Structure 1
Amino acid sequence: MKMKITMPEIRNGTTYSQPIRSLDLSINNIVMIKTFDFKDLSALKSLNTSCNWISHVDNGAFSDLVVLQELNLANNRLNTLSDHLFQVLGNLSVLRLDHNHIKIVSSSTFQNLFSLNVLNLTSNQLYVLKKVQTILLFTHLQELYIASNGFTFFQSQDISNKSIGLRVLDLSQNPMRIFRITADVLPKLHYLNLSYSGQNGSMTWDEPDRSFLSNMKSLNLSGVHMSLKEMSVVLQSLNSSLTSLILSHLGEDRITALANIACHITTLTTLSLHYNNMSFVSEELLKSCTYLIKLDISHNALTHPSHQSFSSMKQLTTLDLSNNRLSSVPNATHNIQSLTILDLRYNTINKLGSFNFANLTGLTYLRLFHNEITDIKGNVFQDLQDLKLLDLGRNSIPSLRYVFKNCLQKLENLQLGGNMLRTIHKGDFENGAFQGLVNLKMLHLASNRMSQINIRATMFRGLTALETLDLSWNRIKYLHYGELKSPPFSLLPSLKILIISAQHPFGMLNIPSNFLHGLKYLLAFSARSLNIKSFHPDTFIHTPQLWSLDISLNEFTALSKELFHPIPRLNRLYLFKAQLQSLDFLIGANLTQLSYLQVRKNDFTVVSETMIRSLPALHAWFIQWVTTENQTQVVDAYDFTCNYPVNLGGTKLLDLDTHYCSVDIGFYFISSTSLVLLTLLGSFIYHLLRWQVVYAYYLFQAYLYDTKRRNVRVTHQYDAFVSYNGHDEPWVLRELLPELEGNQGWKLCLHHRDFQPGKPIESSVPVHWCHTTKPGSQL
């Protein structure tokens, strides 16, 4: 497929010249980029053409992109990088060429990239490092990704004979046999990725002087093909600088041998041992890791770590035990008083006992998502006085009786979605299941089994700071929209976001008229897919600050304009697939601040100008609004087609010339009057002056004949007279005149050059002065 982008764009006589700064053309079928494809996009800073079929880019294709900072050509079919491919991209800082078929790199390909900081050439076919040697000489290059390129050697003599400023180097997934640094060419290197490199366990590390990589902070040796002896050499050579080490996909036996060596690196603070199929963590394995701050043992097969597995880590703040086979909270975590983050997601924990989190007084984030928890003891969280996030989502918790009583005063985010919360117990929902969570701001209760009986004001007692509440995918249902005796949210004075979408099994059916009572600061309300057919006119009288309303996927057919009168600040309205047959309810709805309206997939056939004009924030007529309004997005606008009138059926809405839709009454009046007068005048001339008309006709023919004969004898002084606006004079003099007179041999008549001063124009220029075209010429 050919690609052509023309800017500025002109539609229906209107020019849109706002400069484009970011352009995303990814995931298309583009096969090549031609010279003028990006012409006039001089303000572009980011260009993404990834995930196409591009095999060729013309030299100069990016010549207009003088301020471009990010260029993404990843996941294409480029084979060669030519000399002048990036010649004008002096401001480019990020260049992605990964996942192509690049084999050939010209020596001057990168020479003009004076600002390049990041270059990604992963997954190509370079094979030898010398192909990117020129880019390595750039002192400003900070990150180089050349993984999976078939390199068998990485030697300092192949890079440079002087120091370069590289900070990140990714050599992963190359079949390297030797990694050799025999000169101080990488003094600023902070991160080195050698994961999955080497071949048949034979990779050799050669660094005779440990000072050469003295600033190395992070190293990834996951799945590397090196012997244990060579890996030990690597770790020992970096024992004065390394702070982060990743040792995944090495197997339990190798980890057992390497962990002790790694933990003797006194500067090491972060250790990742995930994906090693470890079933047990012994007391000895990590005994020397006394300085660790972060430990990741996720994605293993742990069932019961030793009680003393982490006892030596007095500074540990983050422990990741997710994606293992833990059936209970391990005792090994009980006494890590320095711990602030504990991740136990994706295990098989089935209950939380009274002392599972004893003494973890500094814990701020506790993640228990996707376990099998059915039972929670009432005092399990009593020591977690600093906890801010608690994630208990995707478990099988049936009740919250006494769970949060007198604890978790600093909790801000509570995730309880995807459980089986349904029943009421004394001290549970009825008397305030969340009472005491005075700082809670976000409560997620989606995908549970709560009905309208459970959703009472007393359930939320004490949540005075709550700002976001998600009750979607429950079983709340109301048979009518009459007033409730106890509005469910009346004790939530700070609530700003309320989500009640998609209630099972048949939807909510109705929203009671005082359902939102007490929510005077509510900003966003989502009530999608509730099988609602109408609203009570007083539904939103309690929410005067409402800014966003989503009532899509319901069965309204029509809505009343009075419904929106209490919410004049509404800015976004979502009515997707709501079976609406008309939008006339928006006329007089007083939505003067509405700037986003989504009404896709409804049943209306006409959008009236009156309706659009009633929404001043959407601006004037619909087509102009769709194409020019920056604050408003009409999804799939370019796919809208006309159904009426019949002769315009199938026409794209944005291609429609709206002038044909107008009826000019003045034009029709003048036309009809003129026709009548011409008919009368014609009749008068025919009966009284027909011979005079015949005489005039022959006289005019004689004049034309004489004029033609005189023209033959006269030599033309000029080929063309140029008429132009004074503002265009520089263009006429600098471009038009040299082209037509200099290159094509025309003789032009210009009023400022060829008219004689003081004489009338008609006497200064011969009458027979011009012919329209000159054979063989081009304008």
Structure 2
Amino acid sequence: MSSGAKEDKAKPKGGSKCFKLSIIFLLLNISSFVVPATGFSLRNCRISYSNIKCSMSLLTAVPHDIPSSVKGFDLSSNTISTIQVSDFKNLPHLAQLDLKHNNISHIDKGAFADLISLKNLNLNDNKLVQLGDDLFDGLRNLTELRINKNHITVVAPGSFKSLTILKVLDISQNKLHHLTAVHFILQHLPHLKTLSIQKNSLTSFQSWELTNSSLELTSLDVSQNPLAVFGITADVFPNLASLNVGDSREQLMKWDVRNKTFLRRVSALDISGLRMAFGDIKTFLQTVNSSLTSLKMNAMTLDLKALINVSCTIPTASTLQLRHNNLSFVSSDLFWLCVNVAELDLTLNQIQDIQQEAFSSLRGLRILSLSRNRLQLVPAAVRNPPTLTKLDLSTNMIHTLRCNDFANLTKLTELSLYLNSISSLEECLFKDLIHLRILNLQNNHISALNGVFKKYLPNLRQLKLNENELTAITLGEFKGLQSLQTLSLHENKIKRIENGSFVGLTSLTDLQLQLNNIERTELDKGGFNDLTNLRRLDLRNNHIKYDDSSALPHPPFSQLSRLETLAIPSQHRRGKSHLPCNFLQGLTNLLFFNTRNIQLLSFATDMFNYTPRLQTLDVSSNDLVDLSPDLFTPIRNLKRIYVSRTSLRSLDFLVDANLTELVFMQARRNAYSVISEDVMKSLPALIYVDFQGNSFTCDCDNAWFLRWAENNKQTQVFDAFNFECHYPPSLKGTKLLELNLESCTVNIDFICFVSTTCMILLFMVVSFTYHFLSCYLAYAYYFFLAVPFDAKHKNKQDPYQYDAFISYNTHDEPWVIRELLPKLEGEQGWRLCLHHRDFQPGKPIIDNITEAIYRSRKTICVISRRYLESEWCSREIQVASFRLFDEQKDVLIMVFLEDIPTYQLSPYYRMRKLLKRRTYLSWPQAKKHTELFWEKLRQALKAREDLGEDRLLLIVADSP
């Protein structure tokens, strides 16, 4: 970005919102280094693809934030005074540089040295006084250089030595006094084709002062110099084809060309305003009479008729331009000798009358221009040249057209009657113009066509009737124009279009009807159904208005399947409007739809179901409060959208619209104040966006957008540096991009340090815990798993369903079935709960376990080595021990089926803890006294649940 100072940036207000963006900015800052460099926001400049336009931007210096990929750079119309050596660094692809209309008076040596690809350089209209040595060093590929309208008086000998392939040089309107300066230029430009040194202060032109070798010049302009002599004494211009020596500024010029062969290839000669004795002019024209084809003699002060006679004796002369000669009358003998003239231009004279035989001798005349004169009728003389193909009668005072005005002009292909006073047309007017292709009748007073286009003009391609006074198009008005492709009827007063008005226009592709008085009723008549090949229809600025969005019985464009452009904006009538939901029915190939400024309130969600190929949509200047994302479902290929000056409160509809192909968006002057990250990221192909004139909020809500506008390298945010704050009031008028965003971000280095440290510590803690405290973690898991079940059953007052729940491993089931169950249930009569018999099917196992323990007075744990290894047994004893500690009741009885050494109990922390506090029964030690074992077990089951102390003397070994 530009390195302009931002020391006193305003601080945005955002409160806690600012901190919420910190993580987003962390990711944004990391990703901003990998986006493609194809475009971005420039201060006071606009970028379009690879061209940058900074004209009329009040720049005083060349901006330095230009992407290296740029190919065209326009800095015209600024106030730049100096070109520094660093101004155009790192622009290796720049091909065109425009610096005209500035105040450049100094260019550093080597300022253009890095522009290795530059082809065109424009320094017109500046204040350069001299061209120093090596001024253009490095421009080895420059082909066109323009230094017009400066104050150059001195040209150093080595100024142009680097421009070895230069082909066009314009150094006109400077203050060069001697051809020595031109000599310094030409000696280094062997391939120069076009040289313009007009309007300097050269008093003589002598070929020997230029160079001793021949040049490749094909065009030379030395006009408007006070030349006293024009001398060519050697064959230095063997390829010269165009020569302009006109207007010697009141100075009589002497013509000195020693050999006619020196100008043997000159085909275009301009001697307009030349001051020279008639005899010298005659000699002059004889010098080029072997090759001349085009001669311009505008604003001549000598006898025009004599000049015409001399020029028409040149057998090769075919084009004659005679503008600004104050002709008011063209006599029949003025062009009597011009038998070879094919193109005659009499524009900008004062011609009021032309004799009928004035052009009769011009039997090969093809192009005749009589525009900008004072003719009141079409002169009969224009009917004489049988070969006439183009006739221009525009900008005269013609008020009436007669049937025979264009008689016999069967080869005429173009006729212009623009800007006259014609009020009516006759049916027979164009009957002989069978080959006419272009007819211009615009800007007259025609109110009725009178069937003039019903029969004739079978080959007409373009008809301009705009800016007249037509009020209606009647049935079959254009049926004779089968070849017509473009019809311009805009800026008339057309209110009525009859059904069948366009019948016969089967080739019409472009119809312009804007700025008329057409109403919706005219559309409903189906008057456009005959235009089956129409590509473009412009209905802007009419009175088309629909009151609701209900479907039309006969959609107006249902037969226009090839239409690509439809415009209906800027209606004159006031009041809110809608568009029928099937208004676009039939337009399957529509690419561009413009509904600007029709005070539209909404769109039907299925509006674009009929236009799947739509690429450009303009809904600006309407009262749209919101746009549904569903509206865009059928038009996923949309590339350009205009939503300026609407009532949209946000652009959030774009997030779900899925417009992945959108490359251009104009959204000026709307009601939203924040541009969200989600909106911009939903448009991955966007390269240009315009948010001018929005009421931006200057706080951290827009922080992401500001960073994005400055740093992204894909999308140009047009005029972003001129966006202003509107809220809060304390920052109103502040430039949006001058805000200080430090409070909206956190330090990335600090975040990385803290994040890395926390991750390392967390990894170490997890590793330590897993390695040394895994058993404690397992206990904690089961402990907390039992909490909800405890809370569920703790306060229930239901009576116990069982006397004891038996917790055992399936491998110990034979002992339970053969020994424990017959004794306790069969002989002693206890109600026991066994999982294989009493658990409820389909219920979670943990729920069955918990309910069985809490619905039993006691829990008997039959412990073996397999029991200790079992996951479900572990859960059962965990729940039982939790009940033991939680209810403070004697509910747990432990029976060991095996002798298990203490060291083998070490991994089972919970079991060791219980055995240290509780006594237990041992089956291996009771094998000889089994009756005592069962009695002790009966007493344990019979004992109360109070936990005062152990009241039973059990057969046990020492507690582990």
Same fold (TM over 0.5): yes
Once the two structures are superposed, the pairs formed by residues 61-210 of structure 1 within 5 Å of their partners are: 61-137=111-187, 138-200=189-251, 202-210=252-260
The amino acid that maps onto 2:448 is S
8 Å contact kept, 2:316–2:340: yes
User: Using the alignment, how far apart are the partners of 1:300 and 1:551 within structure 2?
Assistant: 48
- C-alpha offsets along residues 561-609 of structure 1, whole Å, 9 cap, x if unaligned? 3333332221111122224322123232242321111101222111222
Matched, 1:214 2:264: yes
User: Using the alignment, how far apart are the partners of 2:524 and 2:277 within structure 1?
Assistant: 65
Once the two structures are superposed, the pairs formed by residues 628-667 of structure 1 within 5 Å of their partners are: 633-642=716-725, 661=744
8 Å contact kept, 1:618–1:629: no
8 Å contact kept, 1:544–1:567: yes
What's the counterpart of residue 494 of structure 1? 562
User: Using the alignment, how far apart are the partners of 1:490 and 1:406 within structure 2?
Assistant: 29
What's the counterpart of residue 23 of structure 1? 73
Higher Rg of the two aligned structures: 2
What's the counterpart of residue 507 of structure 2? 439
User: Using the alignment, how far apart are the partners of 1:420 and 1:80 within structure 2?
Assistant: 58
Matched, 1:343 2:392: yes
Measured after TM superposition, the shift of residue 283 of structure 1 is 2.0
The amino acid that maps onto 2:108 is D
- Structure scoring higher RCO (CA < 8 A, sep ≥ 6) equals 2
8 Å contact kept, 1:596–1:633: no
Matched, 1:467 2:535: yes
8 Å contact kept, 2:157–2:185: no
Matched, 1:530 2:598: yes
- Per the alignment, in what secondary structure is the counterpart of residue 612 of structure 1? helix
User: Using the alignment, how far apart are the partners of 2:439 and 2:511 within structure 1?
Assistant: 10
What's the counterpart of residue 433 of structure 2? 384
2:273 to 223, 237, 261: 223
The amino acid that maps onto 1:389 is I
- Per the alignment, in what secondary structure is the counterpart of residue 617 of structure 1? coil
Alpha carbons of structure 1 residues 47 and 664: separation in structure 2 relative to 1, 3 Å = closer
User: Using the alignment, how far apart are the partners of 2:449 and 2:297 within structure 1?
Assistant: 40
The amino acid that maps onto 1:441 is T
User: Using the alignment, how far apart are the partners of 1:611 and 1:27 within structure 2?
Assistant: 36
What's the counterpart of residue 303 of structure 1? 352
Segment drifting more, 413-422 vs 504-513: 504-513
What's the counterpart of residue 554 of structure 1? 622
Alpha carbons of structure 1 residues 480 and 139: separation in structure 2 relative to 1, 3 Å = same
- Per the alignment, in what secondary structure is the counterpart of residue 47 of structure 1? strand
- Per the alignment, in what secondary structure is the counterpart of residue 540 of structure 1? helix
Matched, 1:613 2:664: no
Once the two structures are superposed, the pairs formed by residues 355-504 of structure 1 within 5 Å of their partners are: 355-428=404-477, 429-455=497-523, 458-460=526-528, 462-504=530-572
- Per the alignment, in what secondary structure is the counterpart of residue 256 of structure 1? helix
User: Using the alignment, how far apart are the partners of 2:540 and 2:606 within structure 1?
Assistant: 23
Matched, 1:320 2:360: no
Alpha carbons of structure 1 residues 22 and 379: separation in structure 2 relative to 1, 3 Å = same
What's the counterpart of residue 706 of structure 1? none
What's the counterpart of residue 8 of structure 1? none
What's the counterpart of residue 565 of structure 1? 633
Segment drifting more, 552-561 vs 503-512: 503-512
Alpha carbons of structure 1 residues 481 and 373: separation in structure 2 relative to 1, 3 Å = farther
- C-alpha offsets along residues 321-371 of structure 1, whole Å, 9 cap, x if unaligned? 222222333322235442332222222233443333333333333323222
Once the two structures are superposed, the pairs formed by residues 263-278 of structure 1 within 5 Å of their partners are: 263-278=312-327
User: Using the alignment, how far apart are the partners of 1:182 and 1:669 within structure 2?
Assistant: 84
What's the counterpart of residue 381 of structure 2? 332
Q: Please, what TM-score do these two structures have when normalized by structure 1?
A: 0.78
Measured after TM superposition, the shift of residue 657 of structure 1 is 8.1
8 Å contact kept, 1:346–1:368: yes
- Per the alignment, in what secondary structure is the counterpart of residue 206 of structure 1? strand
2:285 to 235, 240, 249: 235
- Per the alignment, in what secondary structure is the counterpart of residue 240 of structure 2? coil
- Per the alignment, in what secondary structure is the counterpart of residue 354 of structure 2? coil
- Per the alignment, in what secondary structure is the counterpart of residue 439 of structure 2? strand
Alpha carbons of structure 1 residues 605 and 34: separation in structure 2 relative to 1, 3 Å = same
Alpha carbons of structure 1 residues 581 and 126: separation in structure 2 relative to 1, 3 Å = same
- Per the alignment, in what secondary structure is the counterpart of residue 179 of structure 1? strand
- Per the alignment, in what secondary structure is the counterpart of residue 222 of structure 1? coil
8 Å contact kept, 1:456–1:489: no
Alpha carbons of structure 1 residues 531 and 433: separation in structure 2 relative to 1, 3 Å = same
- C-alpha offsets along residues 715-750 of structure 1, whole Å, 9 cap, x if unaligned? xxxxxxxxxxxxxxxxxxxxxxxxxxxxxxxxxxxx
Alpha carbons of structure 1 residues 357 and 533: separation in structure 2 relative to 1, 3 Å = farther
Segment drifting more, 615-624 vs 478-487: 615-624
What's the counterpart of residue 899 of structure 2? none
Matched, 1:249 2:317: no
User: Using the alignment, how far apart are the partners of 1:400 and 1:632 within structure 2?
Assistant: 51
Alpha carbons of structure 1 residues 613 and 42: separation in structure 2 relative to 1, 3 Å = closer
Segment drifting more, 315-324 vs 355-364: 355-364
The amino acid that maps onto 1:222 is S
8 Å contact kept, 2:474–2:501: no
Alpha carbons of structure 1 residues 62 and 568: separation in structure 2 relative to 1, 3 Å = same
User: Using the alignment, how far apart are the partners of 2:525 and 2:303 within structure 1?
Assistant: 58
Matched, 1:520 2:588: yes
Alpha carbons of structure 1 residues 586 and 146: separation in structure 2 relative to 1, 3 Å = same
8 Å contact kept, 1:418–1:448: no
8 Å contact kept, 1:176–1:199: no
8 Å contact kept, 1:394–1:419: yes
Matched positions, count: 666
Measured after TM superposition, the shift of residue 122 of structure 1 is 0.7
Alpha carbons of structure 1 residues 189 and 447: separation in structure 2 relative to 1, 3 Å = same
8 Å contact kept, 1:411–1:440: no
User: Using the alignment, how far apart are the partners of 1:453 and 1:283 within structure 2?
Assistant: 56
8 Å contact kept, 2:205–2:230: yes
- Per the alignment, in what secondary structure is the counterpart of residue 307 of structure 2? helix
Measured after TM superposition, the shift of residue 550 of structure 1 is 1.8
User: Using the alignment, how far apart are the partners of 1:284 and 1:111 within structure 2?
Assistant: 54
- Per the alignment, in what secondary structure is the counterpart of residue 230 of structure 2? strand
Segment drifting more, 223-232 vs 566-575: 223-232
User: Using the alignment, how far apart are the partners of 2:626 and 2:285 within structure 1?
Assistant: 71
Gaps of 5+ in 2: 5-27, 38-66, 478-496, 690-703, 762-960
The amino acid that maps onto 1:90 is R
- C-alpha offsets along residues 50-97 of structure 1, whole Å, 9 cap, x if unaligned? 111111111121222233222211111111111121122222111111
Measured after TM superposition, the shift of residue 101 of structure 1 is 0.6
Segment drifting more, 279-288 vs 442-451: 442-451
- Per the alignment, in what secondary structure is the counterpart of residue 115 of structure 2? coil
Measured after TM superposition, the shift of residue 636 of structure 1 is 1.9
Measured after TM superposition, the shift of residue 141 of structure 1 is 0.8
Alpha carbons of structure 1 residues 25 and 634: separation in structure 2 relative to 1, 3 Å = same
The amino acid that maps onto 2:394 is R
Alpha carbons of structure 1 residues 297 and 634: separation in structure 2 relative to 1, 3 Å = farther
Identity %: 43
- Per the alignment, in what secondary structure is the counterpart of residue 269 of structure 2? strand
What's the counterpart of residue 55 of structure 2? none
- Per the alignment, in what secondary structure is the counterpart of residue 236 of structure 1? helix
